[in-house]
Amino acid sequence: MTMSSSRCPCRPYPGAGSLAAALLAFALPASAVPFRYAEDLAPGIVHPLYTTTMAEARISELVFDGLYTDDPQLASTPGLALSAGLSPDGREMTVRLREDVTWHDGAPFTARDVVFTIQAMKDASTLSTESGRVAWIDQAVLVDAHTVRLVFRQPERRPEDKLHFKILPAHLFPETPIRRTGTFRHRPVGTGPYKVISFNEDNSITMRAVSGEGDPAGLAEVAMREVSDKNYQAKLLLYESLEALVRVLPRDLAVLQNHRKVELYPYQTNSWWYLGFNLDRTPYDEPSVRQAIAALIDIDALLAPIGTGDVVSGPYVPSSPYCNHQVPRFEHQPSQADALLSEAGFVKEARTWTRNGQPLRLKVVSHRTLESSQEVVINLQSQLREAGIGVEPEFLDDASWKARIWRERDYDLVLSQWTFDRSEDVYDQFHSSGTRNFTGYANPEVDTLLEKARTTTDPQVKKTALREVHRLVHDDVPMVFLWTLDSYAAFSSRVHNVVIHPFYFFTWVQNWRME
């Protein structure tokens, strides 16, 4: 596949300048308009084994398929699978694959692709952020060209609910492990409804409907546009230079809601914001210090300027069956915080908390693309400074984030969000050996409960275990749990049949139509 900018009919979007210039940059003849949606930052990689942002997840949903997917009622339904049989003991599943599927480069889809993908994800040297999705599979055995047998570590009641991960084309990889820096990240080949045509000079990505999946009445072409200034995004939609916004800023809701050419679509995201401590760094390895800082934060005041939502008390949102509603949220309690800091040996001198002559200061780090992160961090800085704690904010780009947070763990407090799929599996975030546990959190009781939740076939046992995880993690305060935001997407009224998946957005894009 040749990657070029020849498909892009627009000029690079200006980072600064007049709205008129921006609109001219996006203007297209009506007959040439693809379905254009905006992301704050274009994905740096299109590779389902290394998905770390929702922008990357949305692209993967367009380009790749899994063995199973969700129907509109969020029930697992076959995708690349044709049928399956589960053994009576729940330890094995034989999956018959579709024979009518080809990869975007024309190669046939076979069972070898499924076996290869699972082996690659399980290979520790692949360093996949998605490895936890296959940890429950012991073996993937090739039966014939279109049949694969999956052997599980423990009995499974509904393994199809865990088989939504994306499948890779084995013929494009010589062997495992797979490398994140390989050429596939910029030359992705999938079986999904859209194939990547070009990565463009303005950081946009152009995708075209695969033959048989799109038609002139549908979305024949999809273009992801990078629009880093969210103040422009709503204006570009109003002036018909975009067809969709993935998430509308609260301040733009009223304007868009009253515009006759725009439709708003509410949807729930299974995500929550948090402030995560570096538990390997003094004094944040002390529970009383973490509790004190949590008590100094006015969560409602941080949330108010950026939108509405539900404050969370632990690692499950209030609508989750695993949320422990008996666990109280973190409250703003300055007097309790003062007592805790005093007990930890801090004294307040000239309005500043110190210990052994050293002032208490927090290096607060966030990803610069996290929507509204600057506003939240600046307000947090103001709150803690008033309470006698200094805050040094830093906003990192993608490369610096991976280096500073994931590899070097060079931070005191990190502002970020976790986004989960329907399984709501927090094992990798909170198990002591979890691949996404960058805070250094470790609690043997939590480890045992997370392992039980992964291996049990009894849904009630799982629910009980994870509700206890919710309580324990809250009490240990490895993070200050913040909120899950209310979300609205905005579409041009020319786009019809829109139904948004709560977790991935584009799952049912093949049903969307545009005039």
Q: Are 55 and 106 in a shared domain?
A: no
Q: Which residue range(s) make up the domain with 290? A: 271-485
- The answer to whether residue 258 sits within a structural domain is no
Q: Are 57 and 80 in a shared domain?
A: no
Which pLDDT score, from 0 to 100, does residue 59 have?
A: 94
Q: Who's near 103: CB < 8 A, 6+ residues apart?
A: 109, 169, 171, 189, 190, 191
The tens place of each residue's pLDDT in the chain, 515 residues long, gives 323 333 333 333 333 344 444 444 444 444 457 999 999 888 888 999 998 788 898 999 999 999 999 988 888 999 999 999 999 999 999 999 999 999 999 999 999 999 999 999 999 999 888 888 999 999 999 999 999 999 999 899 899 999 999 999 999 998 889 998 899 999 999 999 999 999 999 999 999 999 754 444 479 999 999 998 877 999 999 999 999 999 888 888 889 999 999 999 988 777 899 999 999 999 999 999 999 999 999 999 999 988 888 999 999 999 889 999 999 999 999 999 999 999 999 999 889 999 999 999 999 999 987 878 999 999 999 999 999 999 999 999 878 988 999 889 999 999 999 988 778 899 999 999 998 899 999 999 999 999 999 888 888 999 999 999 999 999 999 999 999 988 899 999 999 999 998 778 899 999 999 98
- The answer to whether residue 184 sits within a structural domain is no
- The answer to whether residue 252 sits within a structural domain is no
Q: Are 152 and 281 in a shared domain?
A: no
Which pLDDT score, from 0 to 100, does residue 214 have?
A: 44
Long-range contacts of 376-380 (CB under 8 A, 24+ apart): 376/273, 376/302, 376/306, 376/415, 377/415, 379/301, 379/302, 379/305, 380/275, 380/297, 380/302, 380/415
Nearest to 39 by CA among 56, 22, 15, 26: 56
- The answer to whether residue 182 sits within a structural domain is no
The answer to whether 91 touches 188, Cβ cutoff 8 Å, is no
Q: Are 436 and 346 in a shared domain?
A: yes
Q: Are 233 and 366 in a shared domain?
A: no
The answer to whether 406 touches 399, Cβ cutoff 8 Å, is no
Which pLDDT score, from 0 to 100, does residue 212 have?
A: 55
Which pLDDT score, from 0 to 100, does residue 24 have?
A: 41
Rounded to 5°, the CA angle 229-230-234 comes to 125
Which pLDDT score, from 0 to 100, does residue 231 have?
A: 79
The β-bridge relationship of strands 92-97 and 81-86 is antiparallel
Considering its fold, how many domains does the chain have in total? 3
Q: Are 291 and 399 in a shared domain?
A: yes
Which pLDDT score, from 0 to 100, does residue 213 have?
A: 47
For position 499, which CATH number holds?
Answer: 3.40.190.10
Which pLDDT score, from 0 to 100, does residue 33 have?
A: 72
What is the reported pTM?
Answer: 0.75
Q: Are 475 and 503 in a shared domain?
A: no
Handedness of CA 69, 72, 73, 74 (dihedral sign): positive
Cα distances from 86 to residues 7, 36, 149, 155, in angstroms, run: 46, 42, 10, 10
How many CB atoms sit inside 10 A of residue 32's CB? 8
Q: Are 74 and 168 in a shared domain?
A: yes
- The answer to whether residue 265 sits within a structural domain is no
- The answer to whether residue 343 sits within a structural domain is yes
Which pLDDT score, from 0 to 100, does residue 458 have?
A: 87
